[in-house]
Amino acid sequence: MTTRAMVCLSGGQDSGTCLYWALSEFDEVEAVSFDYGQRHRVELGCAADLARRTGVRHDVLSLGPAFRQLGGSSLTDEAIDSRTDATDTGNVYAERHGLPSSFVPGRNVVLLGYAATLAAVRGAGHLVTGVCSTDDAGYPDCRVEFVRAYEGALRQALDEPDFRIVAPLLEMTKSETWGLASRLGCIDEIVEHTHTCYHGEREERFDWGYGCGRCPACRTREAGWKDFVASSSSGRS
């Protein structure tokens, strides 16, 4: 039986790694990205580049200004600083829940819902996402409980009892994600052709890729890279 997967491809490290992972696991793979008014729109260019390089069909769904209208996240509002502590940044929801100012409330509920719909229409029984529960940010819509609960809801909504949300990085650290990319043979592509920086900067090249090197996303990516390199040097990975 042919296995088909739809990959949620943001253009970042995690989703890029998941794309290559899906290509190694499924017979047919497609990818979908979302334009939701994010400040770091350069990630959409990275997603398109990854899709072109891997030869997968790639759709970009436009959600318009909805997330900008819903609330103040640093990813959708340039007036809000990207900080691990959202206190006094203007992201009231993140401040109330002890989350970084970059958190976009409900984003994965919306994006995974659209992606699952497209997967169902295309006959793909697996939705691959790069959500990771071990990230320092601690986003509630990246937790194991959310993924399993939403999978069950989507099965009911789509009347597809075997539909699966596949999250290969769900319980991996960033170091382990780098290790997976290395084993898949795509680590150079992840370094060069993915984007993580919340500010959308790609002028400066670091060992781990491009970015400002200062925002929480860059620091998390850098820390994971350094731990991966250290682990590789000591033979632990």
* All domains of the chain in start order, with CATH: 4-172 (3.40.50.620)
pTM as predicted: 0.89
Name the average pLDDT for the chain. 89
Q: Residue 132's closest CA among 25, 38, 10?
A: 10
Task: Return the structure tokens found at 96.
Answer: 């109330």
Range 67-87 average pLDDT: 66
Q: Are 50 and 17 in contact (CB under 8 A)?
A: no
Half-sphere exposure of 207 (CA within 13 A, CB side): 10
d(CA 145, CA 184): 28
Q: Return the minimum-mean-pLDDT range out of 86-100, 152-166, 196-210, 214-228.
A: 86-100
Cα dihedral 116, 186, 134, 107 in deg (nearest 10): -30
Unique residue bearing structure tokens 């995974």: 112
d(CA 169, CA 25): 14
Half-sphere exposure of 169 (CA within 13 A, CB side): 28
Q: Tell me the pLDDT tens digit for each residue of 174-221.
A: 999 999 999 999 999 999 999 999 888 999 999 999 999 998 889 999
Range 126-136 average pLDDT: 87
